[in-house]
Amino acid sequence: MDRTQEEEMVSLLKGVFDASASIVVVRNLGLNVTEMTDLRNKMREQGATLKVAKNRLARLALDGTKIEGLGEHLTGTTALGYSDDVVAAAKVLVNYAKDNEKLEIVGGTMDDAILDVAGVRSLAALPGLDELRGMIVGLLQAPAGKLASITQAPAGQLARVFSAYGSQG
């Protein structure tokens, strides 16, 4: 990698660090090409990205940012998972690490806060953006359904009373 390419990579990483809602640092402990491709595809399906970058360049990109402390996690063969959805990258990487011991969660960030491994796992346990949207729609629909059943109940009760009087006569 020549100097120009390194400068472009640092610039790209600065953009990632500034724009991403969350970043997860993972350590690759021997994933082969097929496994990495599978992981990248899973990340892409959830709107997240997995980027392998030289630790030195990532630390340069972190200099002067609010998440400069993330550089402590950049040791060994690392990769960065990031997304605009706060939990998407963490969710995919934590789930993948459960099934594959060759991937280790190291740490991460969320809203300028540095997270340890437990923090990343807690972040992954939260519902995603799509799940939250579904919950909100369900909450909004529930009162309307209850209102409809309540307004129909008195009419049904009157019909049963009239039916009972009719059957007596």
Question: Please, what CATH class does the domain formed by 3-126 belong to?
Answer: alpha beta
pLDDT at residue 153 in the model: 61
Rounded to 5 degrees, φ, ψ at 29 are: -105, 30
Look at 160 and 158; give whichever has higher pLDDT: 160
pLDDT at residue 166 in the model: 72
Residue with tokens 């909450």: 139
Give the residue extent of every domain in the chain.
Answer: 3-126, 127-169
The Cα–Cα gap between 12 and 7 comes to 9
pLDDT at residue 80 in the model: 95
Q: Using the predicted structure, report yes or no on whether residue 66 has a pLDDT greater than 80.
A: yes
Residue 146's pLDDT band (cuts 50, 70, 90): low
- Residue range 83-112, pLDDT digits in tens: 988 899 999 999 999 989 999 999 999 988
Q: Which candidate, 143, 50, 130, 147, places its Cα nearest to that of 90?
A: 50
pLDDT at residue 155 in the model: 61
Q: How many helices (H) does the chain have, and how many strands (E)?
A: 6, 5
- Residue range 17-50, pLDDT digits in tens: 988 889 999 999 999 999 999 999 999 999 999 9
Per-residue buried b or exposed e for 44-66, using 16+ beta carbons within 10 Å of the residue's own CB: eebebbbbebeeebbbbbbeebe
